[in-house]
């Protein structure tokens, strides 16, 4: 969930194995690894930009201001849901 909207719904196994939404991917990359060697080897996926105000979220996709995949369509159109494999995702570009 990002700024009060669900980004992705999936069974836990498929969500962890193959996250589809860019925000889900960023969240899972932020989970620390218990072993230091694994943590150092882990690919970092920092999000740029500031978190928009939940009281005044941006038009279109709420994650677009921080999304590495954002396109013009994201500025004005929020995708309801799209089935991709076992996941249901609210993203044009997932």
Please list the rounded mean pLDDT of every run of 10 residues in the chain (94 residues).
92 94 90 75 79 91 91 88 93 89
Alpha-carbon gap, residue 42 to 85, rounded angstroms: 25
Structure tokens at 6: 């669900």
Q: Where are the domains of the chain?
A: 8-89
Strand 87-89, strand 8-9: pairing = antiparallel
| Residue range 8-31, pLDDT digits in tens | 999 999 999 999 999 999 998 888
The pTM of this model reads 0.83
Return the beta strands (E) in 28-86 as ranges.
82-84
């Amino acid at each position: 969930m990002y700024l009060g909207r669900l980004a992705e719904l999936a069974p836990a196994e498929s969500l962890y194995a193959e996250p589809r939404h860019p925000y889900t991917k960023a969240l899972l990359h932020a989970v620390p690894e218990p072993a230091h060697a694994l943590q150092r080897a882990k690919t970092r996926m920092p999000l740029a930009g500031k978190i928009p105000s939940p009281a005044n979220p941006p038009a279109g996709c709420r994650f677009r201001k921080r999304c590495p995949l954002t396109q013009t369509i994201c500025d004005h159109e929020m995708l309801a849901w799209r089935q991709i494999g076992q996941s249901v995702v609210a993203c044009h570009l997932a």
